[in-house]
Amino acid sequence: METRITRDKLSFDQAFESVKAPGFGAAVLFVGTVRETEEGRKVSAINYEAYDQMALTELAKGAMAAEEKHGAHLAVFHRLGAVPVGEASIVVAAAAAHREEAFAACRAVVEHLKENVPIWKTAFIPAEEKAP
């Protein structure tokens, strides 16, 4: 298992490389990207903030639980700071013996992150989109 919270761009290759193993025949990669709208308004980026150590601890807790439950290996990378539209804010790689377990582990850790990990986001709204 590898968990990472960083201000650097996220690497899909690093996530995949950290979970692959000869005994695993399935790998799933989830990439969450910043979309151009947030709550119906155009945005230029999303700023992510966290209590870094607390967030990393909780992220690892969720990844460990998903690994144990689904017999998978996980890598979970989350980006902090300003993330422009189209760039990845989260990358989750899951590998397991079979696809069902890989998909289930990936979903479980993403749901855990959304519900339990202290990471907050704020949208950057271009001036022309702000209300008068």
CATH number at residue 98: 3.90.1170.40
Cβ atoms 83, 89 nearer than 8 A: yes
- For residue range 114-132, list pLDDT tens digits in order: 999 999 999 988 766 555 5
For residues 35-43, average pLDDT = 90
Amino acid (one-letter) located at 53: Q
pLDDT at 129: 57
Domain that holds residue 51: 2-129
Question: Rounded to the nearest 5°, which phi and psi values hold at 130?
Answer: -75, 145
User: pLDDT for 51-110, tens place per residue?
Assistant: 999 999 999 999 999 999 999 999 999 999 999 999 999 999 999 999 999 999 999 999
By 3-state DSSP, what share of the chain in percent is helix, strand and coil, each rounded to 5?
35, 35, 25
Q: How many domains does the chain have?
A: 1
